[in-house]
Amino acid sequence: GAVVSQHPSWVICKSGTSVKIECRSLDFQATTMFWYRQFPKQSLMLMATSNEGSKATYEQGVEKDKFLINHASLTLSTLTVTSAHPEDSSFYICSAKRQGRGTDTQYFGPGTRLTVL
């Protein structure tokens, strides 16, 4: 299989603090990982594409200085929400593209529920 994990699964923080979310591919190497945000009853919205060893590519309207992404290894990408505010409360989901396969398939993590008070 292709297993992707996220940590933590949920986090509650005060406004103004920073929160780091980890995304790991457990049984394969991923040169490319993706970060999505999902609001209630809405579909997934891509925030950024994370490539191992290089800078992330952010979608239009996503603040790169607020959502810091680091893809330091072939199995780990991190998303840091800096100076979080209540409007950043959402469900954050990462995905990883399996390296070396002929398919474009992305495998998703279980998600992280962020609540900013």
Partner 1 sequence: EDQVTQSPEALRLQEGESSSLNCSYTVSGLRGLFWYRQDPGKGPEFLFTLYSAGEEKEKERLKATLTKKESFLHITAPKPEDSATYLCAVHSVANFGNEKLTFGTGTRLTIIP
**Could you list the residues that contact partner 1 (CB under 8 A)?**
2, 4, 6, 32, 34, 42-44, 46, 49, 57, 91, 93, 95, 97, 103-111, 113
Tokens of residue 96, six digits: 């990883």
Nearer to partner 1, 34 or 67 (CB): 34
Q: Which residues pair with 92 in a beta bridge?
A: 37, 112
Nearer to partner 1, 3 or 83 (CB): 3
The per-residue b/e assignment along 5-34, b for 16 or more CB within 10 angstroms, e otherwise, is ebeeeebebeeeeebebebbbeebebbbbb
Q: How far is the CB of 66 from partner 1 (least distance, A)?
A: 21
Q: How far is the CB of 83 from partner 1 (least distance, A)?
A: 26
